[in-house]
Amino acid sequence: MIDRSDEPALLLIAPTGGGKTLAGFLPTLAELADGRHRGLHTLYISPLKALAADIRRNLRTPVEGAGLPIRIEDRTGDTTYTQRRRQRADPPHILLTTPESLALLLSYEDAPRIFVGLRRVIVDEIHALAESKRGDQLMLGLSRLETLAPGLRRVGLSATVEDPPALARFLARNPDPCPVLLADPGPEPDISMLVTEEPPPWSGGGGRYAIPAILEEVKRHRTTLIFHNTRAQAEIFFHALWLQNSDDLPIGIHHGSLAREQRERVEQAMVEGRLRAVVCTGSLDLGIDWGDVDLVIQVGAPKNVKRLVQRIGRANHRYNAPSKALLVPANRFEVVECQAALDAVREHDLDGEPRGPGPRDVLCQHILATACAGPFEADRLYAEVITAGPYSALSRPAFDACLDFAATGGYALRAYDRWQRLMQVGGRWQLRDPRAATVIRQNLGTIIDTELLKVRLNNRFGGVPLGEVEEDFAASLTPGDTFLIGGEVVRYESLQEMTVQVSRQPGRDPRVAVFMGTKFSTSTLLTHRILDIFRAPSWPELPRHTAEWLALQRDVSRLPTEDRLLLESFPYDGREHLAIYGFAGRNGQQTLGLLLTKRMEEMGLAPLGFVATDYATLIWGLEPVTDPAPLFDPDLLRQGLETWLQGNTVMKRTFRNVAIVAGLIERSHQGRRKTGRQASFSSDILYDTLRKYDPDHLMLKITREEAMRGMVDFGRIEAMLARIGGRIDLIRRDRVTPLAAPMFFEPGKIPVEGAGRERLMSVAAERLMQEAGLA
Amino acid sequence: MNWHDFTFCGHRLRALPSGALFWPDERLLCVSDLHLGKSDRLARRGGALLPPYETRETLTRLDADLAATGALQVICLGDSFDDDMAAEALAEEETLWLLRMMAGRGWTWIAGNHDPAPMALGGEHRAEIHLGPLTFRHIAEAGAAGEVSGHYHPKASLAGKSRPCFLIDAARIILPAYGTYTGGLRSHDASLTALMAPTALAILTGPRCLVRPMPR
């Protein structure tokens, strides 16, 4: 690292636990050792607040030990107001922060003064940041920093990725070169599937059946990390684990919905070696040094080989010891997925989709934030923006459209010339109303959470914060309902001032808190490997229960294959069902569900809803499908994409996210009560209005671009259609088939708003009226 | 028939799926909480620049209801404009459109809490208006009878789907908000359950009117 410390940009790729973070700081420590540098020298950016705090601890020890005159501080959403103010007035030598906190710092008028002496930027876990808009925002931030502190050097630290040069181009200032350093990957991991006496359930997630076996493993190891794919699953699992933890092993829980105090307690206990295991989610995914972890357990199929490899790297921070990991399939389908993942890890087969160009909603936000810091010239800002890797191909007209949106709203109807947000004074753009800066700053960031409400435990002292739940979930509660949070069963008492008041209710069966888990699609690579496994005549490598299940499916119906599309049709619970085994990943299957239900609506089949998994879509409705050919005509599907693109739930959700990031609508802040019901209306109304009156508006264009890439993923449907080449098999059965059964338990069912829904609504209305004796 | 007819204080009234209330015998159309000029008000205050199309969208729907019902009298139940300045700030073509609809019709603006007195436009300006046994005012009053009001933007759900709704009992009708950029208040809210009798009905708007007991 020291040898290459003069490179303008450098990407270091090392497996987790390779000591790469400290390596990234070596040139900084060397340059600061003589005590001559004044002000900020190095900015360290990580995707996690916890990581920033952790690095601060790890860095201070050697620095203070060697008596170096270096001030090291972190700054995140958790930093106190007083300390944040002091940091602006008198920045430390090394500041450890997150992309969001950096964006906020850059939006202050005194940003030029804060960053004037900056020499180095270290971006940790850059592979994780590059997976979302946070990475795009950060790279725009770096382009800004480069202007404030010319000659800045950038270092990216990444776990193993499939395409290092692409990540290097993302990091470097365009068109600077960016050499890639590859560290020794270390020994092969020791990874296997956990064998339990009890077979996994037919369906569902969570892996509760495996708790006895997992507790045995925890006992056999010093410290175990137990990863779950969603927060809700982590909560349920932790609760169940405690009920069976007869030896009282010290086990904690850690995820992003818990209150900061709760998370910090667990982190501290972990650092001090007081915990034997932590049940966690992606919030512990990244390079936090947890000391003595010697086993990683992944509950639920990993969905993505790359992430699995990174998680496995959490075990054994000693560089030359093999990492030890166990996969615990949550249900029988996941047994197959886990087997496919094991094969892929052994064969070093990493998955990954190429990154698209930098999204323009992030650019809109960046323009507004830049205006908060002070007046700017459009030409200069454009020149600066295209130095950011993700925006290197951005055209000037595309940039101007974003600037126009930020300034006037960018509507075809020029109603707002009077009320611009930005206006030009002497060739430079500035805020019309400087007070608007407060609102813009409050809305910085690209992470869109569903609306969350704080949960507090009622007591005499005003309440203990426990964590957060989704607003929709809170709205579904009535007093007396119980749910799980932080591993405790609590009783819902009331909703006060945007806070959910609860009391302790030990020992009762809880209703489950439904947190929004990040839904990753199973990668293309893994789905292909699963279809390969299905081809085998028998499955000696799989546990018997799963092999028998697949055999039963083959017997009752058939197994999906690579070159044909399998459909199953059956009645259940008074509804007609159609299962489509497209293996196009969760997002692709969801899009397929939207397109097919649209066609079914037109054909009078009265679809009511659907649910998508990584391998299939299940549609239910009032009429059966008998002839699938017209549903799967590729041209009609593509056409449907165009028409459907105009008006469905997923698009509206995408629009909402885009509109929040771009600054069209404000995110709702916890603790800040809405000013009145008239002030808040659904973003769906804005979407419908724009579609009707301004269909070429920038927000709709960005929404379409976004949908094509992420949540819609039509590319994988095209690939599937090419794969099957029109070979479709529809199998009719009189009951649920073995392979379709798990889908009935999938969360995230999407209703179809159509004739079927109206039919059901009027039936429901009549029934209610009759029951009330009014009709 | 996508509307819902009902009898209120001895008179036949019709809830339209758009959220307007029609009194066929009087050829009277009543709408509430139009909130015209909302995006303009937000922009003026330095907030977000929302799509400036809500006024024409609301007027389009009102125009369609007037044409369909042949109404000769119109009562706007208050909060017709997002504030008094919004009435003055309407685009010229929108003002003309509104004037065209007002021409040849009896038109009454009831004062709301957002727009006490949008005097620039014609029509009558009243705090409340009495027609036969019916009283039209912006905010419902406790103990009133034969009252038609707005203000609360009530909504209710059916089969998991929430929509703006009328609330109706023997003594009063609360209209849904007619304006495009408006949110809603669930009928469970204490301010609504306190006003409405236990036997009250909710009439959901949408493609057609759907009647259910008021969720509370």
- What average pLDDT does this structure show over A353-371? 93
pLDDT of the residue at A545: 86
pLDDT of the residue at A479: 67
| pLDDT band, residue A206 (cuts 50/70/90) | confident
pLDDT digits (tens, 9 = 90+) for A764-775: 888 888 887 776
Domain assignment present for A702: yes
For the cut 60, the answer to whether the pLDDT of residue A669 exceeds it is no
Spatial contact of A184 and A252, defined as CB atoms under 8 Å apart: no
DSSP-derived 3-state class of residue A723: helix
pLDDT of the residue at A660: 93
Q: Which residues of A touch B48 (CB under 8 A)?
A: 663-666
CB crowding B99-128: b at 16 or more within 10 Å, else e: eebeeebebbbbbbebbeebeebebeeeeb
- Do A71 and A107 sit in the same domain of this protein? yes
Our count of domains for chain A comes to 4
| pLDDT band, residue A677 (cuts 50/70/90) | very low
Mean pLDDT of chain B: 92
- What average pLDDT does this structure show over B107-124? 83
For the cut 90, the answer to whether the pLDDT of residue A316 exceeds it is no
Mutate to test the interface with B, among A472, A677, A758, A766 (most CBs of B within 10 A): A677
Sheet containing B124-126: order of strands: B4-8, B11-15, B21-23, B28-31, B73-76, B106-110, B124-126
Query: Partners of B203 in the beta sheet?
Result: B166, B211
pLDDT digits (tens, 9 = 90+) for A543-579: 988 899 899 999 999 999 999 999 999 999 889 999 9
Q: Choose the weakest-confidence range: A206-220, A706-720, B18-32.
A: A706-720
Cβ distance of B51 and A411 shorter than 8 Å? yes
Quick one: which of A379, A326, A310, A332 has its CA closest to A127?
A: A310
- What average pLDDT does this structure show over A318-331? 80
pLDDT of the residue at B214: 94
Quote the Cα angle for A668-A674-A675, to 5°: 140
Mutate to test the interface with B, among A496, A575, A678, A771 (most CBs of B within 10 A): A678
Domain assignment present for A659: yes
Quote the Cα angle for A649-A653-A655, to 5°: 115
For the cut 80, the answer to whether the pLDDT of residue A752 exceeds it is no
Cβ distance of B50 and A436 shorter than 8 Å? no
Q: Which residues of B touch A692 (CB under 8 A)?
A: 53, 57
Cβ distance of B57 and A689 shorter than 8 Å? yes
The helix (H) or strand (E) run that includes residue A541 is none
pLDDT of the residue at B157: 80
Of A416, A663, A769, the CB nearest to B52: A416
Which stretches of chain A sit within 8 Å of chain B by CB?
408-409, 411, 413, 415-416, 418-419, 421, 432-433, 435-436, 439, 663-666, 677-682, 685-686, 689-690, 692-694, 697, 751, 753, 757-758, 760-762, 764-765, 768-769, 772, 774
For the cut 60, the answer to whether the pLDDT of residue A674 exceeds it is no
DSSP annotation string for A282-316 = GGG-S----S-EEEEEEES--S-HHHHHHHHTTS-
pLDDT of the residue at A518: 41
**What pTM was estimated for this model as a whole?**
0.80
Q: Choose the weakest-confidence range: A116-130, A290-304, A375-389, B14-28.
A: A290-304
| pLDDT band, residue A417 (cuts 50/70/90) | confident
What CATH number has the domain spanning B4-213? 3.60.21
Cβ distance of B51 and A433 shorter than 8 Å? no
Q: Compare A353 and A68 and report the one with higher pLDDT.
A: A68
Pairing of strands A293-299, A499-504: unpaired
Task: Tell me if chain A has a CB within 8 Å of the CB of B191.
Answer: no
Cβ distance of B39 and A694 shorter than 8 Å? no
pLDDT of the residue at A675: 35
- What average pLDDT does this structure show over A318-334? 81
| Strand runs labelled E in A346-427 | 422-425
Residue keyed to tokens 């699938």: A628
Which residue of A lies nearest to B181 if distances are taken between CA atoms?
A681
Cβ distance of A419 and B52 shorter than 8 Å? no
- What average pLDDT does this structure show over A176-204? 85
ipTM summary value: 0.91
pLDDT of the residue at A167: 95
Q: Residue A64 — φ and ψ, nearest 5°?
A: -70, -35
Spatial contact of A245 and A215, defined as CB atoms under 8 Å apart: yes
pLDDT digits (tens, 9 = 90+) for A446-471: 887 666 677 888 776 667 777 777 66
Structure tokens at A652: 């509206």
Task: Tell me if chain A has a CB within 8 Å of the CB of B170.
Answer: no
For the cut 80, the answer to whether the pLDDT of residue A678 exceeds it is no
CA distance A518 to A515: 9
| pLDDT band, residue A487 (cuts 50/70/90) | low
- Do A155 and A199 sit in the same domain of this protein? no
Cβ distance of B53 and A413 shorter than 8 Å? yes
- Do A62 and A153 sit in the same domain of this protein? yes
Mutate to test the interface with B, among A471, A496, A656, A681 (most CBs of B within 10 A): A681
For the cut 50, the answer to whether the pLDDT of residue A57 exceeds it is yes
pLDDT digits (tens, 9 = 90+) for A521-543: 788 889 999 999 999 999 999 99
- Do A121 and A204 sit in the same domain of this protein? no
Q: Which residues of A touch B158 (CB under 8 A)?
A: 761, 764-765, 768
Spatial contact of A56 and A96, defined as CB atoms under 8 Å apart: yes
Min Cα–Cα distance to chain A from B131, Å: 28
DSSP annotation string for A109-133 = TTHHHHHTT--EEEETTHHHHTTSH
Cβ distance of A769 and B208 shorter than 8 Å? no
- Do A590 and A710 sit in the same domain of this protein? yes
Task: Tell me if chain A has a CB within 8 Å of the CB of B70.
Answer: no
| pLDDT band, residue A161 (cuts 50/70/90) | confident
Q: Compare A454 and B136 and report the one with higher pLDDT.
A: B136
- Do A241 and A271 sit in the same domain of this protein? yes
- Do A209 and A158 sit in the same domain of this protein? no
Which residue of A lies nearest to B203 if distances are taken between CA atoms?
A765
Min Cα–Cα distance to chain A from B116, Å: 17
Task: Tell me if chain A has a CB within 8 Å of the CB of B131.
Answer: no
Domain assignment present for A360: no
CB crowding A755-772: b at 16 or more within 10 Å, else e: bbbbebbeebbeebbeee
- What average pLDDT does this structure show over A301-322? 74
- Do A490 and A563 sit in the same domain of this protein? no
For the cut 80, the answer to whether the pLDDT of residue A69 exceeds it is yes
Domain assignment present for A456: yes
Spatial contact of A369 and A107, defined as CB atoms under 8 Å apart: yes
- What average pLDDT does this structure show over B203-216? 93
For the cut 90, the answer to whether the pLDDT of residue B18 exceeds it is yes
Cβ distance of B49 and A416 shorter than 8 Å? yes
The helix (H) or strand (E) run that includes residue A454 is strand A452-457
SS3 of A606-669: the string is CEEEEEECCCCEEEEECCCCCCCHHHHCHHHHHHHHHHHCCCCHHHHHHHHHHHHHHCCCCCCC
Residue keyed to tokens 């410390």: A5
- Do A705 and A653 sit in the same domain of this protein? yes
CA distance A155 to A161: 16
- What average pLDDT does this structure show over A631-655? 76
Mutate to test the interface with A, among B205, B212, B214 (most CBs of A within 10 A): B212
- What average pLDDT does this structure show over A79-99? 93
pLDDT of the residue at A352: 76
Q: Choose the weakest-confidence range: A153-157, A553-557, A677-681.
A: A677-681
- Do A275 and A208 sit in the same domain of this protein? yes
Chain A to chain B Cβ contacts (< 8 Å): 115
- What average pLDDT does this structure show over A248-273? 84
Task: Tell me if chain A has a CB within 8 Å of the CB of B54.
Answer: yes
Query: Partners of B172 in the beta sheet?
Result: B147
Give the C-alpha distances (Å, rounded to integers) separating A93 from A41, A73, B65, B152. Answer: 5, 8, 68, 56
Task: Tell me if chain A has a CB within 8 Å of the CB of B143.
Answer: no
For the cut 90, the answer to whether the pLDDT of residue A331 exceeds it is no
Q: Compare A474 and B163 and report the one with higher pLDDT.
A: B163
Pairing of strands B4-8, B11-15: antiparallel
CA distance A646 to A663: 22
Cβ distance of B50 and A664 shorter than 8 Å? yes
Which residue of B lies nearest to A664 if distances are taken between CA atoms?
B48
- What average pLDDT does this structure show over A219-228? 92
Structure tokens at A141: 């931030």
- Do A210 and A68 sit in the same domain of this protein? no
| pLDDT band, residue B175 (cuts 50/70/90) | very high
For the cut 90, the answer to whether the pLDDT of residue A481 exceeds it is no
Domain assignment present for A496: yes
Q: Which residues of B touch A413 (CB under 8 A)?
A: 52-53
Cβ distance of A677 and B79 shorter than 8 Å? no
Mean pLDDT of chain A: 85
DSSP state of B17: T
Residue keyed to tokens 């693109």: A645
Q: Which residues of B touch A694 (CB under 8 A)?
A: 51, 53
Task: Tell me if chain A has a CB within 8 Å of the CB of B178.
Answer: no
- What average pLDDT does this structure show over B67-73? 97
Cβ distance of A693 and B56 shorter than 8 Å? yes
Min Cα–Cα distance to chain B from A54, Å: 38
Cα torsion angle, A292, A295, A296, A299, sign: negative
Residue ranges making up the domain that contains A561: 556-759
| pLDDT band, residue B148 (cuts 50/70/90) | very high
CA distance A3 to A95: 23
